[in-house]
Amino acid sequence: MKITSAKVFVGGPGRNYVTLKIETDAGLYGLGDATLHNRETLSAKYLEDYLIPCLIGKDPLKSEDTWQYFYRGAYFRRGPVAMAAIGAIDMALWDLKGKIAGLPVYQLLGGKSRESALVYAHATGPDLDQLLDTIAHYQSQGYKAIRVQCGIPGMPTESYGVAGKGEDSRHFLTHFDSLPKEEIWDSGKYLRYMPTVFERIRDRFGPELKLLHDVHHRLLPREAAAFGKEIEQYDLFWLEDPTPAEDQSALRLIRQHTTVPIAIGEVFNSVWDCKQLIEDELIDFIRIAVSYGGGITPVRRIVDLAALHHVRTGFHGAPSHSPISMAAQGHLNLWAPNFGIQEYLVLGTPECDALFPSEHRYDKGAFYVSDTPGLGVDFDETEAGRYSYERSYHPVVRLEDGTLWNY
């Protein structure tokens, strides 16, 4: 069996998904996701101009050799653009491998370690009362774990990932504009207010709710250490990205001062970004995504490394990942002995279901992977014709005096 062609599609409902379809002379095809959030055309061009020409004629079953060929054979290794493109190829080859074998990918990885994967929802609100109502809504939908983000009184602008006044926070997805929106940030206001938010949540919903929170890299190491120590009493499931991920020594200072579980890694794209953090046990959850991380092949190795050091998985699962990479992570979640939790914001909308048909499902706070051979997701090319690329940006963050700050 040989690879005969590969096509790239860019576009989707509300997001610029980058979908790779690899076709073989046996009439089978595999699907991968190369979506690089708000830089989507880069990974698409990397695939089209550099990787796909080298795929034609290769054996689709040799996924390991193909991964090594593209990673080791490049002068410039790693980096989000290259790893997203390689990751899409790797996902598509695992999808093909499962279809050829007649097995879901989790069976190829070693079989199930559990029947379903715990997932968490995003609850947000421009004020605390609306946030509490949103948490109650998600609890009524069966979620046992919820990430909470709240507007901060006195903050000059809305903060990233927080619904604005008048928006429906029960189904809120962050908006991205055609040019960067500028937000104003004040760490002091945040640090004074957020402990009161956690207190109110625990008072209303009790100790059983698994509570997560994302700082979006915006604190200094000293601030994050003090904040973690102050909020230990509220028993968070995790505190995500307290400081910029590239300054890994900051995690050591935080670890010395607080026992709050730390999650980090959604911007990582190889084992070399997290190896020291895992081996020194400076984090509790690794957030790397299958798409940005180069595919199933390398992420499986990261999961195995993490298992040796009491670090659990918590793969990134924002809408910047298409249902294809979410399915790939779903299979890893069923297999991984050190599974922790899965962010869940993609599958289940009518538009995504039409573009990416699958039998994977959410039920009562958990994600269930179907037994369809391969990744278990299809792609409707006719439906894809409805969508085209639309430029978008993450916000830029400044302090009140105009100083640029960490997103």
pLDDT in tens, 27-37: 999 999 999 98
Tokens 């880069």, residue? 42
CA distance 126 to 149: 9
Structure confidence at residue 201 (pLDDT): 98
- Give how far the C-alpha of residue 138 lies from the chain's centroid of Cα atoms, to the nearest Å: 20
Q: Is the pLDDT of residue 163 over 80?
A: no
pLDDT digit string, tens, across residues 172-204 = 777 778 899 999 999 999 999 999 999 999 999
Q: Is the pLDDT of residue 309 over 80?
A: yes
Confidence tier at 158 by pLDDT (50, 70, 90)? confident
pTM over 0.85: yes
- Whole-number percent of the chain with pLDDT over 70: 99
Dihedrals phi, psi of 14, to nearest 5 degrees: 80, -10
Q: What is the CA radius of gyration of the chain?
A: 21
Q: What is the mean pLDDT of residues 205-230?
A: 97
Say if residues 319 and 14 touch (Cβ distance below 8 Å): yes
**C-alpha distance from residue 337 to each of 64, 196, 265 (Å):** 22, 36, 19
What residue type is 30 in one-letter code? G
Cβ neighbours for 304, distance < 8 A, ≥ 6 positions apart: none
- Catalytic residue from among 160, 193, 362, 407: 160
- Whole-number percent of the chain with pLDDT over 90: 87
Q: What is the mean pLDDT of residues 306-323?
A: 94
Q: Is the pLDDT of residue 170 over 80?
A: no
For residue 362, the cross-strand partners are 367
Domains of the chain by residue range:
3-104, 108-374
Structure confidence at residue 346 (pLDDT): 59
Active-site residue, 213 included: no
CA distance 71 to 346: 29
Residue 102's region, left for phi above 0, alpha for psi from -120 to 50, else beta, is left
Q: How far apart are the first and last CA of the chain?
A: 46
What residue type is 324 in one-letter code? I
Q: What is the mean pLDDT of residues 97-102?
A: 98
Structure confidence at residue 83 (pLDDT): 97
For residue 125, the cross-strand partners are 150
Q: Is the pLDDT of residue 62 over 90?
A: yes
DSSP at 321: S
Q: Is the pLDDT of residue 363 over 60?
A: yes
- Catalytic residue from among 216, 257, 309, 394: 216
Confidence tier at 345 by pLDDT (50, 70, 90)? confident
**C-alpha distance from residue 246 to each of 92, 242, 273, 291, 367 (Å):** 30, 12, 8, 19, 31
Does the structural domain 108-374 have CATH classification 3.40.50.880?
no
Q: Is the pLDDT of residue 367 over 70?
A: yes
Q: Is the pLDDT of residue 348 over 70?
A: no
pLDDT digit string, tens, across residues 351-361 = 989 999 999 99
Structure confidence at residue 47 (pLDDT): 98
In 3D space, the residue among 194, 284, 203, 200 whose CA is nearest the CA of residue 230 turns out to be 194
Candidate CATH numbers 3.30.390.10, 3.20.20.80, 3.40.50.720, 3.40.50.11540; the one for domain 3-104: 3.30.390.10
pLDDT digit string, tens, across residues 130-143 = 999 999 999 999 99
Q: Is the pLDDT of residue 347 over 60?
A: no
CA distance 151 to 194: 9
Active-site residue, 160 included: yes
Q: What is the mean pLDDT of residues 226-252?
A: 96
DSSP at 159: P
CA distance 93 to 59: 10
Q: Is the pLDDT of residue 320 over 70?
A: yes
CA distance 12 to 253: 42
